[in-house]
Amino acid sequence: MNRTLQPRRTIARLDRRDFIKMGAGLGAALATATSPARAQSKAVFKASDVQPPGYPTVVATENLGKKLAAATNGRLSVQMFPSMQLGGEKETIEQTQIGAIQMLRVSAGTVGPIVDDINVVNMPFLFNNMAHAEKIMDGPIGQDLLDRITANANAGLVALCWMNSGARSLYNTKRTIRTIADVKGLKFRVIGNPIFIDMMNALGGNGVAMGYDQVFSALQTGVIDGAENNPPSYVFSNHYTVAKHFSLTEHLIVPEVLVFSKRAWTALSADDQTLIKTFAREAQMEERELWNKYERQAMEKARAAGCEIVEISDKTPFQNAVKPVWDKYGPKYQDMIKRIQAV
């Protein structure tokens, strides 16, 4: 079998229910193609990302696919669908769970409601800085958390690796945010995770759960006043063209996760699984280097466009404001939090 994919135009015409039904068939077809009995059959893994071409997570996943194709003489390969072509993160997780998508890059913020253990990395101001977060993700704690995603029977996902997504900060269309008082009353889009909604409300804003694919138009039309994300997402999804005020609160360091459909994964041979895991680990390191360069480019582009980039010298008031979030959610994750803080 050379392809497990339908042409893009065909997929675009299907509604979500049709796509899910089709996905079951795609998953079955992939299982046949990659079963040990037909180990030499070809399979094309469909990969999805909400970010545009050239984005670090997209490039790293594409490179993983190239390595996989080279190592298997073209027997296994990856076809990338960036720019939300297959839907937002929530929709593509559902498609990955049923096997319609085989590989997916998604935020840990979106995984949290599915695998509660992962919500520990979604706590505001958990990590001291990016270096601390990277050390956690690269070490035994990071592997432990990946394993918990894979072991979750209801998730239907195999967690391959972490990817950087920098620190998340506030940006909006209304006014400069220099102090926590400036946040009051503004409507901010957040990932649809109760922790993030509570966090934004604790900061004095109004947290609005919304898919990433809806943010730009919501900013344009005034449905929301702002959002919170990293500099590359702010710039390369064109949010900076509408929301000119960017304040470096760095309230969250939420990593990305590259996952594989468990339905498709179980049909692969042990050797193929090992190969994919090896290249995924390499992708984790490669994406980090790409990220650092991309983040610098994003900040330069935002400044050149006249955006106001504000440094928050004292984050203590912001950290104090989210104490109710820690009181509400922290006890559940206290053992893992202690392990993270001890590193």
| Domains delineated in the chain | 8-164+256-295 (3.40.190.170), 168-254+301-342 (3.40.190.170)
Taking the chain (343 residues) in runs of 10, the rounded mean pLDDT of each run is 38 40 45 44 95 97 98 98 96 98 98 98 97 98 98 98 98 98 98 97 98 96 98 96 98 98 97 98 98 97 98 96 98 98 96
pTM beyond 0.75, yes or no: yes
Write out the two tokens for 303.
């400044």
| Best CA proximity match to 254, nearest among 141, 112, 157 | 112
Cα torsion at 219, 50, 308, 220 (round to 10°)? -10
Burial track 245-257 (b if 16+ CB lie within 10 A, e otherwise) = bbbbbbbbbbbbb
Question: One-letter amino acid identity for 52?
Answer: P
Contacts of 278 (CB under 8 A, 6+ apart): none
Pairing of strands 103-107, 256-261: antiparallel
Residue 74 gets the label, from left (phi > 0), alpha (psi -120 to 50) or beta, of: left
**pLDDT of the residue at 40:** 58
Contacts of 128 (CB under 8 A, 6+ apart): none
**pLDDT of the residue at 41:** 82
Spatial separation of the C-alpha atoms in residues 82 and 190, rounded to whole Å: 21
Spatial separation of the C-alpha atoms in residues 341 and 343, rounded to whole Å: 5
Other beta carbons less than 10 A from residue 118's beta carbon: 27
Contacts of 91 (CB under 8 A, 6+ apart): 16, 211
